[in-house]
Amino acid sequence: MEEKYLSRHFGIDKAYNLDVYEQQGGYSTLPKAFAMDTDAIIAEMKKSNLRGRGGAGFPTGVKWGFMPRDSDVEKYLVVNADEGEPGTFKDRMIMELDPHRLIEGCVMTAWALGLRTGYIFVRGELQLAIRRLEVAIKQAYEKGYLGKNVLGKGLDFDLYVHSSAGAYICGEETGLIEGLEGKPGQPRMKPPFPAIVGVFNKPTLVNNVETIAAVPFILEHGGEHWASMGIERNGGPKLYGLSGHINKPGVYEAPSGITVRELLERFGGGMREGSDLKAFIPGGSSCAVLLPESLDAQMGFETLREAGSSMGTGCITFMDQTTCMVRLSARLAHFYHHESCGQCTPCREGTGWAYKVLNAIEAGQGTPDDLALIQDMITGIAGNTICAHGDSLVIPVRSYIEKFGQEFEDHVQNKRCPFPRWRKMRNTQRMSA
């Protein structure tokens, strides 16, 4: 088995404590990082081919390069730990089991880009992660890894944990920034991007937890080593969260470019007994659904786009033949309706309407016109919104209708859902509008 990086400490008892983390060699790379200057660090980051782990996959080194260099301007680091995408649960593992890794990454990032203040914006529901981070930050302050003059190198860096109120939209970086400023979490118009106008209207670097947690390894072993554990333009190992009708759901570390089949069979233990793979979502609920024929697709941003979906967060949900795709799309629409911030019209009204129509189809009350209506409606949302939240509904629903259109038509024609088990559940599970 390959060497572990991101999940190296997951099996070690109390690795969230500073002394255990230090015994394992934690914080030992800091002096090496402090010996490098901004250009050298950004060059390593670019060489590493690390792509943003939050879902959009923007090259991290390039993003860092966008940050203004003038040292007298106040600049902020924001770690996006608002992990709320259905089917995604990788960042919480880092925060809960290895919080010092994240802190070490933050210190290095701050050093690299001259940032004085950092915020870790954690989803409010992740209480354990918040507590572990708070304790870890306290320990790091006591040891001098945070605060004034870190390790005597002249870096002043303060790091804070900010607990969100649990809104999914605050995972969108400008929604997050608004939330951090104490305002309603409503994404901003872009441009300007956060690297120019971010938190408190100052330049801000927003990176995902897993992205920042990778920084210590990249600076320790070099960007080329990190890039070697991957495929073209997608460097380094990554945490994959596997869920659904499989034998061993969980978070596993594997290189970029691994095929979905290998993840399913080697790590996920294959489908459960009696389950046949019907479809899978490769990177969280907002990605298009893929059929078993795409199992050999490699986990990378370009490769999965070629396969007709996207990499997203790299957390894969596998579904078997008992999954009703209409119900799944209705449930997703419910989620995106519930989490729509309400700022712009197409998403605010369209997600709710889509949910109502999909739910009616699932309940056997759909009409033949409804399928065309849904198509029409999501076309009206697509690309017309302030942020990507609306598209996060459009992309999966469009793919379900495209790939499982017959299932939708059956619901309408037979005026019932052909999946009895699911129908039963509908009565017990509340889905209020």
Partner 1 sequence: MPVLTINGTEVEVDRGTTLLKAAAVAGYEVPHFCYHPALSSPANCRMCLVEVEGAPKLMPGCYNQVNDGMIVHTESDRVKRARKAVLEFILVNHPVDCPICDKAGECKLQDYYFAYDAQESRMRAEKQHKVKVYPIGPRVVYDGERCILCTRCIRFCEEITGTGELTLADRGDKAEVRTFPGQDLDNDYSLCTVDVCPVGALTSRDFRFKRRVWLLTSTDSVCTGCEMGCNIHLDHFRNTTERYRPRYNPAVNDYWMCDDGRLSYKALNEGRLEHPMLNGAQATWHTIAGAAASKLAAVIEKNGASSVGFVISPQATSEDLFLAKMFAETAIGEGVRLFINGNDPGSSDELLIRADKNPNRAGARLVFGGLDGVGDASALADALEAGELEAVYMMGTELGAARGRVEAGLDDVGLFVLQAAHQGGVLLDAAHVALPAATHAEKRGTFVNCDAVVQTVDQAYPPNADALPDWQIFMKVAGAMGHKLPFTFLRQIQDRMFEASEAPEPEETATEEAPAPAE
- The interface mask with partner 1, positions 169-198, x = CB under 8 A, is x--------------x----x---------
- Give SS3 for 321: coil
Alpha-carbon distance of 171 to 216, in angstroms, equals: 24
Considering only 349, 364, 403, 422, the residue that binds partner 1 (CB under 8 A) is 349
Alpha-carbon distance of 191 to 108, in angstroms, equals: 28
Edge-to-edge strand order for the sheet containing 117-122? 147-150, 155-163, 117-122, 76-81, 204-208
Binding-residue total with partner 1 (CB under 8 A): 35
Q: Which amino acid is at 222?
A: G
Q: How far is the CB of 357 from partner 1 (least distance, A)?
A: 7
Q: How far is the CB of 340 from partner 1 (least distance, A)?
A: 4
- Residues 151 to 170 in contact with partner 1, rule: CB under 8 A: 167, 169
Stretches 52-60, 85-93, 230-238, 344-352: which one binds partner 1 (CB under 8 A)? 344-352
Q: Is the peptide bond before 191 cis (omega within 30 degrees of 0)?
A: yes
Closest CA to 177 of 121, 106, 112, 135: 121
In the chain the first and final C-alpha atoms are separated, in Å, by 48
Stretches 3-11, 151-159, 310-318, 335-343: which one binds partner 1 (CB under 8 A)? 335-343
Alpha-carbon distance of 60 to 49, in angstroms, equals: 8
When asked if residue 356 is in the footprint of partner 1 (CB under 8 A), the reply is yes
Q: How far is the CB of 376 from partner 1 (least distance, A)?
A: 8
When asked if residue 288 is in the footprint of partner 1 (CB under 8 A), the reply is no
User: Residue 164 or 256: which CB sits closer to partner 1?
Assistant: 164
Considering only 346, 396, 398, 419, the residue that binds partner 1 (CB under 8 A) is 346
Reduced DSSP (H G I as helix, E B as strand, rest coil) percent helix, strand, coil of the chain, to 5: 45, 15, 40
User: Residue 280 or 353: which CB sits closer to partner 1?
Assistant: 353
Relative to beta strand 204-208, strand 76-81 is parallel
When asked if residue 125 is in the footprint of partner 1 (CB under 8 A), the reply is no
Kindly list the residues in this chain that would bind partner 1 in the complex (CB under 8 A).
Answer: 167, 169, 184, 189, 337-346, 348-353, 356-357, 360, 369, 373, 376-377, 379-381, 383-386, 433
